[in-house]
Structures are given as structure tokens and as C-alpha cells.
Amino acid sequence: MTLSKKPYKGTRDFFPEEKRIRDYMFSKMKETAELFAYESYDGPLLEEVELYKAKSGEELINDQIYSFNDRGERFVAIRPEMTPTVARMVAQVHREVSKPIRWYSIPNLYRYERPQKGRLREHWQFNVDVFGAPEVLGELEIIQLGIKLMQSFGANSNHFEILINDRAIVDKVFKELLKCSEDECYKLYKLVDRSKKLDKEKFTTQINETTLNDEAKLIFNEYLALNSIESLKNFLTKNSIDEKSIELISLDEKLKDLGLSDYVVFDPTIVRGLDYYTGIVFEIFDKNPENRRAICGGGSYANILKIFNEPSLPGVGFGLGDVTLKDFLKTHNLLPDFSSPKVDIILTTQDETGLNSLLNLAHSLRSNGISVFTQLEPLKIKKVFTLADKKGASFAALLGTQEIQDGLVQIKNLSTKDQKEFKIDSIDEIKGYLA
């Protein structure tokens, strides 16, 4: 049997160019999280399936989880998301640490999905979560952080938008106005969550299959047609729901004060597929119609610590995937050129006897913090520059027969084309030229 060279379905090999892109995206994530004083954490790749059964929702458990019995008969899963892990970790320490707890991580996650654009079986997900922040301020900070991250890639409100809703509103509409039972509410949530993926006809058929009467259907459709905070406010007033009980309204005011309201759009169909969310929920979407997928999803979840028998500590956070982020950056031409690596200098010799000098020079330069690519076999001068270009070098050093005899080296600045001769052991001078 010949073994396949391809990676397992829905996973990726990261060859150096792809890995440079990933490193670039991760470095922006790390920088942004640390700009907001979030601390880095990590957890295990395997967790007990029970952890996800508690609050993640049926789609994840029934269709997407990679699970198996280990040799000790424990039923375990490869992590499909990070929120239950971070909640489990916070549950261990929340009594001892000052609030709010602000943490971030970039785990790889596995979900058994049909691989397609924006969806794979393994992806990396930037997670930021804050626990124990005062009402609305956690949500505000998390959304600010999301916007800052997108801006760090050069994106602005022409490129992306944040679609936002509040489960408190949806709960009130479903329970108080539509008079749904818990069970019916759950089914409606799932239906609303799928609404953008279903065509209109299918969606109507599925609504007709619910227990909603004609009056309830009218209110439901009226709710689904809301498209701005203003229209939401009118809807709340008309149905005697107190605006003050809705956090989204005060969040909207705070976003306006910070000049960020251009980024945020009320969308009644955003409810999120995971079950633990309790309040404000949001997704970041690419505005390009060719790439209409959520780049990021998150929201607030007040009760997750209760599954560990701990008092509730409100959490807010989001997860932003590397696959969708890269698609977004590509669509908008926001990815720098990573086709070649970067190195300060390439060292070449044109004569076999130069190898020792080349190795010594490389050793001294590296000891001075200069990155060096060494060409270990003699190379003709005309080939040096093509190689230097491929390796992304800023400078090229030439050790020809004459230079070796005289203890010299020629160094060329590849962007200005300036070339200078140095004594091979004058490291400080060489360092100054490369700076």
C-alpha cells in the first residue's frame, strides 16, 4: 500500500509560507490582547465529553465532536471549542484572583464538519474572555478589542461589520410576546440561528411547523424585520418592554461615545448556536458579499461556572478563527507578501577555501543578533543575488578568492545597491553597516 502524502481530511500542513501567514496573524492577536492587558493561558487538547454536554449545545455534541473512549474507559473529546475549558480553569481560581479576569489563548480545535470555504476540521481560534466585569463594560471591552484587532490588519468599517443582538430581547420576545414554553423557545432559537442559511420558503415551512399561532407569527416576523437599534427601540416601546432592562441599548450608547457605532449593526437573527450565551451576542462579518461568513463569534454567558457548582461569575468573550480571518484578509488585499522568508544577510563564498571564514563570520554575526543565511557551497557571483532574493536577505556578503587571501569581505546592501569592503574581523563596523 502506498501511503497518502495528503494531510487528514479537513486539516492543513503549514509549509513555511503558510506558516509565516499564520505567525503574522497570531502575532497581531497576541499584541492586541496584550494591549488590553489580557494574559495568555492554555489548556489540554483532550477534555471529558461531559464538559461540552453541559452547555455547548446539541449540534456540537451530536454532529461535530471528535470523541472516543480512552484506555481507561473515559469518554473524551478533542476540544471543539475553548470556552468550556476556560470556564473550568476560571472555576479553579476565581476566588483567589482579582476581577475582572482577562485571559486569551490561540488553541487549535477540532470539529467534524464538511470541509468547505471557511470551514475545516481543524482550525486555530483566537479566544479572549473577561470574567467578573461590571455590567456592559465587559461586552464593551471585548467588542473594542475585536475592532482593534481587525484595525491592526488595516481593516476598517468599509471591510467588516459587527452584527449584534441580545438574548435578553429574544427571550422576552419568545417567552412574553409569543408565549413559548422552554422547549419551543429552544427550537425557535435554533431556527433563527439557521435562518440566514435557509431559503425563504424553507424557513416559512419550518415556522409553520411550530406551535406559533397567527398572531404570534406576525409578532415573530415583525421582530425578524428589525434592522436598526432605532427600529428595535420602537418595537420594545410598542410591546411595553422597558428599554432599561436591555443591556444592548446601553452598550449602543457607550459604543457611540467611543465613536465605534459605525462598526455595529443590530441583527435580530444573531442568536449564536452555542447554548451558554445569556445576554449580548455578536458576530463579525466580512462586508464582501463573496465571503459572507462569520469571522468571529461571541457574547456574554452569565451562568457557565454553575456547571462546576460555583457561584455565577459573568463571562464575555469571542472566538475568531484563522481560516475565516485569512479569507477576509485575502479578499481585501490586506495580507502582506509572505512569499519569501526574511533574513538580515546571506553569506556566500566564491572559492572553496573560503568556507572557514564564512562559518566564522556567520558565528560572530549571529552572536551579535544578526540573522544569517549561509550558502555552504561555493556560488558564482551572478547566482548570489537570485538566491539572496529568494531568501529575503537585506544584504549579501561575497567572499571571493582575493578577499579570502586579504582577510576581507564585500557586503552589498540589496535595496540601495551600495557595496562596501570590510576587514572580515571588524564585526562592529559590519554591524553598523547592516543596522
Footprint of ligand HAM on this chain (CB under 6 A)?
A: 81-83, 111, 113, 119-120, 123, 125, 127, 129, 274, 294-298, 317-321, 323-324
Nearer to ligand HAM, 114 or 382 (CB): 114
Which residue's C-alpha cell is 484506555? 71
Judge contact between 31 and 152, C-beta under 8 A.
yes
Q: Least Å distance between CB 146 and ligand HAM?
A: 11
Sheet with strand 372-374: strands edge to edge = 372-374, 343-349, 393-399, 408-413, 419-423
128 or 212: CB nearest ligand HAM: 128
- 125 vs 348 by CB, closer to ligand HAM: 125
In whole angstroms, the minimum distance from the beta carbon of 31 to ligand HAM comes to: 19
- What is the smallest separation between the CB atom of 324 and ligand HAM, expressed in angstroms? 4
CA-closest candidate to residue 343, choices 249, 295, 414: 414
Identify the helix (H) or strand (E) that includes residue 69: strand 66-69
Q: Residue 91 is placed in which grid cell?
A: 472555576
> Is the CB of 127 or the CB of 348 nearer to ligand HAM?
127
Residue 114 contacts residue 126 (beta carbons within 8 Å): no
In the complex with ligand HAM, which residue's Cβ is closer, 125 or 375? 125
Please identify the residue of the shown chain whose CB is closest to the bound ligand HAM: 321
Q: What angle do CA 153, 154, 155 make, to 5 degrees?
A: 95
> Which residue number, 116 or 339, has a Cβ lying nearer to ligand HAM?
116
Shortest distance (Å) from residue 341 CB to ligand HAM? 26
- What grid cell was written down for 245? 432592562
The distance of closest approach from Cβ of residue 39 to ligand HAM in the complex, given in angstroms and rounded to an integer, is 15
Residue among 125 and 350 whose Cβ is closer to ligand HAM: 125
Residue 82 CB, nearest approach to ligand HAM (Å): 6
Q: Which residue, 81 or 403, has its beta carbon nearer to ligand HAM?
A: 81
Amino acid at 250: S
Q: How far apart are CA 372 and CA 434, in angstroms?
A: 12
For residues 203, 208, 213 and 219, what is the CA-based torsion angle, rounded to 10 degrees? 10
Q: Residue 94 Cβ, how far from ligand HAM at the closest point, in Å? A: 16
Question: Exposure string (b/e) for 226-243, b if CB count within 10 Å is 16 or more?
Answer: beebeebbebbeeeebee
Helices 229-238 & 247-257, crossing angle to 10 degrees? 150
CB 55 to ligand HAM: min, Å: 10
d(CA 376, CA 381): 14
Do 153 and 28 meet the contact criterion of CB atoms below 8 Å apart?
A: yes
Nearest CB to ligand HAM, comparing residues 133 and 384? 133
Quote the least distance from Cβ 284 to ligand HAM, whole Å.
8
Residue 101 Cα distances to 55, 83, 139, 205, 307, angstroms: 21, 14, 14, 45, 19
C-alpha cell at 388: 539572496
Choose among 246, 277, 284: nearest CA to 164. Answer: 284
